[in-house]
Amino acid sequence: MSEIKGLVFDLDGVITDTAERHYLAWKRIADRLGIEIDREWNERLKGISRTESLELILAEDPTLLLDADEKEQLLQEKNAHYLELIAQTTAADILPGIPELLDDAKRAGYRMAIASASKNAPLILARLGLSASFDAVVDPESLIHNKPHPEIFERAAQALGLETHACIGFEDSLAGIEGIKRADMPAVAIGIPAFGEWLPDVEVATTAELKLAKIVHKVKMKERVEG
Ligand code: BG6
Ligand code: MG
């Protein structure tokens, strides 16, 4: 059994409620294309890169044949709209329970990293006043594979100087939970309505329920049971 020494966090929907703003920005693009998406459909975009998200939306209407320039234009528009939506982001937008969790973790000596698919992650962390709270932020542009591949979680652990199984990963997306588990890391799922093949070790409905001691205890108990 390995001692937990690190915490690896997704950003959007875990540290702050940007998941909703990604959805609103995509919805505007989809509406313009005449494609209907709703919050339930949007679950599949969580954790998915900007380019892959656009491809998933476009796949809803096979009659729409866009060339590379048109796609690039839509990607830029989506990001511009997203940036408008996060323009007023401040520390007040950190999700409930997260400040306490980060404080407890720091005090207990855990090393912490961000494993987000978002190229906007450093900007958002700065707006939240959290840039100095993490020992590492994985640059998604340096990755070969996107979530659900485990690479981003492996890289986060590596950046902390830890084995993946000595970290706990926190995610609000199915792609993220799969990536964490495939990286051999215990996983905490936040507000995920239903699971497929990959199951988390701990499940909470909202970040307000995240209590560090309780989570570490649950992960250890689970490891003991599973040997
Ligand atoms: C993930 C979000 O964290 O980042 C996705 O869950 C988003 O919804 C992805 O598409 C990429 O973000 P960005 O900021 O690079 O467009
Ligand atoms: Mg997320």
Domains of the chain: 6-16+91-226 (3.40.50.1000), 19-86 (1.10.150.240)
- pLDDT single digits (tens) 122-135: 999 999 999 999 99
Of the ligands numbered here, which is closest to the C-alpha atom of 21? 1
Rounded to two decimals, the pTM is: 0.96
Using CA atoms, how far residue 57 sits from 26, 40, 65, 96, 199, in Å, is 9, 13, 12, 31, 26
pLDDT tens digits along 45-86 = 999 999 999 999 999 999 999 999 999 999 999 999 999 999
Q: For 135-157, how does the pLDDT look when each residue is reduced to its tens digit (9 = 90+)?
A: 999 999 999 999 999 999 999 99
Mean pLDDT, residues 89-106: 98
Residue 227 Cα to ligand 1 midpoint, Å, equals: 36
**Residue whose CB lies within 8 A of the most ligand 1 atoms, among 11, 20, 22, for a mutation test:** 22
Q: What are phi and psi of 45, to 5 degrees?
A: -90, -15
pLDDT tens-place string over residues 178-224: 999 999 999 999 999 999 999 999 999 999 999 999 999 999 998 88
